[in-house]
Structure 1
Amino acid sequence: MNSQLSLNQNFEGFITITAATSVAEALKRLEESQKQLAVVVNANQPQTLLQGKHLTALSSQGSKPLAELLEQLPSPLVVDSGVEVLETADLKQLGNLLKKTKAPGLIIYQNGEVSGIVPRKAIAQALPLDALTSDTTRSDLYGDSQVVARTYVCRQCNPPTYMRPRQGETPSCPKNWLHGNMEPWN
């Protein structure tokens, strides 16, 4: 069975919060917005994607800026905006990454800005049951359209940042350009 997920048809509303914002202020802004997701940015570069529960867990540190607490928040999973549809193998790999990092969704990044968020539940709903048990561990042949796109990781970020470009050369870290090129994950 082959499933597909159209990314732009599964965007969920979100707010943007700067990394300099305190935990208390971020929680207040998220609650007032009535959105479920917030992207924490530093100079338009995504630092993490979080939900109210992440901020509530940090409420004892209410006056601290989010920038000081990024290590305690989920790793950002960034997908290049050139990707429009995810196939079953992509969904499975991203589902596993979402589970591993406990991220609430995928950050879609375009022209230096966050253009959308695909929530974790959309990935889970699109995954066919047989994909959860089948083994698709064949190695990536980058450039082959029948093979899952390569995922890159920046291990200099804490927590690590993951990115899935669809084309081009090895990406630079979207969280901090000073980290340079990312390395293949898996």
Structure 2
Amino acid sequence: MQHKILTFLGAIIILVILGNVVGGDKVDKKEVNSSSDKSLTSSDNKNKDESTEESYQIGDTVNTKNMEITVSKFEELEQIGDPDFLGKIAPEGATLVAIQYTMKNVSDDPIGVFSYPSINLVDEKGTKYKDDIEASSAYATETKVDNSKVLSDLNPGITVTGVDVYEVSKEKFSEGEWYIKIGDSKVKIK
């Protein structure tokens, strides 16, 4: 039984890795649905000044070409679950930064996992951090909130919840501002 679970988790990890490699930062338009009702439209200019990039807050909705994505929760953790069984302990000098988010397909067509916008942790200098698949799987198991699509498309009108965990230097994370970057948009978490 344990072999079947590990084989299944291995297959999921490989699919997520392939999704991160093949998926892109394809975002055409961004909006925030909050009391301030801010909106920002991106241009095709890839050399856009980062200092003019608008930052959203946890709970705001970022609209991409075909999805609405909302970062709903952020946690800083030292351990996730039972490290003896699919859990994760932050390495010495590191911390685990966990986020929960929802994604809704607002288009008229199914969206494959390889077409999702990339979601990364970035510091105020723009340094990008990829999610830790092992820690993300442990967090999904621990919180039981992740119902995201791994093997099938996200159909129109459907909303799913996803989780990501990033391994970051504890010293670096204690300094400055931190964001979740969704395509070309940034959601401030700290």
So what's the TM-score if we normalise by structure 2?
A: 0.28
Larger helix share, 1 or 2: 1
So what's the TM-score if we normalise by structure 1?
A: 0.29
Larger strand share, 1 or 2: 2
